[in-house]
Amino acid sequence: GNDPYPTRLARTPDLPWLQRREAVVKGDAGQGPLSADQLERFERQGFLFEPGFLNAGEVAALRREMSSLMNTPSFRGRPFTITEPDSREIRSLFAVHFLSRRFRQLAEDPRLIGRARQILGGEPYVHQSRINYKPGFKGKGFNWHSDFETWHAEDGMPTMHAVSASIVLTDNHTFNGPLMLIPGSHKVFVPCLGETPENHHEQSLQRQEIGVPGEAILAELIRRHGIEAPTGAAGGLLLFDCNTLHGSNANMSPDPRSNVFFVYNRRDNRCQAPFAARRRRPEFLAHDPDREWTPDL
């Protein structure tokens, strides 16, 4: 076909990866809030970490809201609530900007929208939102992956005009499973082996095995670029390109690790039919820019 980013292949392709076609940063510094230097770092590394993005009061309010959402009995056992593979602990809660007014305000905060607009060079909407919660000792890791690979294959996102904003709601340190990234990996697309099974998200959101680059390719990218894991106090903002390879280890500490994620996609990059799956994933994972979502409780 003429898909520029073929993936979920039946056999090993000739090339380990393809060059990315789209520019990374499509706006400029003139509009603010990000400086030319910050945009240059995002362009080169595929991510930008801003410590102290939210103040302590904002963080405290968001943590209370997160706790309230995670303890809402009617959310238990619902498809948008994902538990750990080996326990009943909540691992992720999706569509939080539709479940909570406070998270919606945050998703629409001009400081975030402004950054997304600068990077994407156009109007952003929230393609996906979620809280990831990694409980002390029990929280497992995430294998290395590109989010775009999944969104392209399973949600029908055509091109790389999306950026994730992750705000850490707990202090992030070496031992509670911080997000790790491969800087520079966003400039290549790594086709993955293996056809997408039916209802793949029911498995992959607990432990992803398909849509994961081969080990030899990962090894080569890490040898070239290394691994970075921004850590620091709650309230830090990590912006990362939709195609930056990232993962995380298990939480070996008693301290839970939680983040809230908003994925901003450019309106003219809205999702179509999936590129490598039979059916689109449910809407709580991939929102339509012109449709409200409700949990149907």
Question: Binders of a second copy among 163-182, rule CB under 8 A?
Answer: 174-175, 177, 180
Q: Order across the sheet with 124-134: list the strands.
A: 47-50, 237-241, 162-168, 257-266, 124-134, 90-94, 81-83
- Binding of a second copy at residue 247 (CB under 8 A)? yes
- Binding of a second copy at residue 249 (CB under 8 A)? yes
- Binding of a second copy at residue 141 (CB under 8 A)? yes
- Binding of a second copy at residue 132 (CB under 8 A)? no
- Binding of a second copy at residue 112 (CB under 8 A)? no
Distance from C-alpha of 42 to C-alpha of 87, rounded to nearest angstrom: 37
Measured from the CB atom, the residue of 95 and 182 that comes closer to a second copy is: 182
Distance from C-alpha of 141 to C-alpha of 146, rounded to nearest angstrom: 15
Number of other residues whose CB lies within 10 A of the CB of residue 82: 20
- Binding of a second copy at residue 233 (CB under 8 A)? no
- Binding of a second copy at residue 208 (CB under 8 A)? no
- Please state the closest distance from residue 144 (CB atom) to a second copy, in A: 8
- Binding of a second copy at residue 253 (CB under 8 A)? yes
Tell me which of 67, 252, 268, 294 binds a second copy, using CB under 8 A. Answer: 252
Measured from the CB atom, the residue of 22 and 220 that comes closer to a second copy is: 220
Burial 111-139 (b: 16+ CB within 10 A, else e): ebbbbbbbbbeeebbbbbbbbbbbbbeeb
Distance from C-alpha of 10 to C-alpha of 122, rounded to nearest angstrom: 36
> For a second copy, which stretch binds (CB under 8 A), given 27-35, 43-51, 219-227, 259-267?
219-227
- Please state the closest distance from residue 282 (CB atom) to a second copy, in A: 29
- Binding of a second copy at residue 137 (CB under 8 A)? yes
DSSP state of 151: I
Cβ atoms of 89 and 83 closer than 8 Å: yes
φ/ψ (deg, to 5) at 235? 105, -10
Binding site for a second copy (CB under 8 A): 136-138, 141, 144, 174-175, 177, 180, 215, 218-219, 222-223, 227, 229, 247-250, 252-254
